[in-house]
Structure 1
Amino acid sequence: MVKIKTNKAVKKRYKLISQKRFIRGRAFKSHLLQKKSSKRKRRLSSSIVVSKRDTKAIRILLSC
């Protein structure tokens, strides 16, 4: 059986923080920032823990 390759797009977007949890960046902070409030932009800069429902799919794509 052939080893599954790591999905490089997923590897760049998610980081493993414990054996069962991943973190990711938030969306909507790449452009059109002038009309967004400072509070909103500051919140978008922070990372967020991935939901348990998506963790299994990410683990398969990273093949870890």
Structure 2
Amino acid sequence: MPKMKTHRGAAKRFKKTGKGKIRRAKAYKNHFTGKKSAKRVRNLRKGGLVNDSDQKRIKTLLPY
């Protein structure tokens, strides 16, 4: 069988951790940050983990 291809859009958005979980960036930080509180924008800088219900779907997009 040929190799599976990595979904390039997903590869730019998600990274695998050492234990195999998937990291992601928070949403809503791109623009219109002037009307959001400083605390809210600061907390959006921190990454998050993909929910367990979505892990399987994204792992198929990132086979390696």
Task: Say whether the fold is shared (TM-score over 0.5).
Answer: yes
How high is the TM-score relative to the length of structure 2? Answer: 0.88
- 2:16 is matched with which residue? 16
Distance (whole Å) between structure 2 residues aligned to residue 30 and residue 6 of structure 1: 26
Query: Is 1:58 the counterpart of 2:58 in the alignment?
Result: yes
Q: How does 1:1-64 map to 2 (within 5 A)?
A: 1-64=1-64
Runs of at least 4 residues of structure 1 off by over 6 A? none
How high is the TM-score relative to the length of structure 1? Answer: 0.88
What SS does the aligned partner of 1:23 have? strand
The amino acid of 1:51's aligned partner reads N
Aligned-pair RMSD on alpha carbons? 1.2
| 1:49, distance to aligned residue in structure 2 (A) | 1.1
Q: Deviations over 1:2-53 (max 9, x none)?
A: 3321001101111111333111000011111110000000111100011111
What percent of counterpart residues are identical?
A: 38
Which one has a larger percent strand, Structure 1 or Structure 2? 1
Number of matched residues?
A: 64
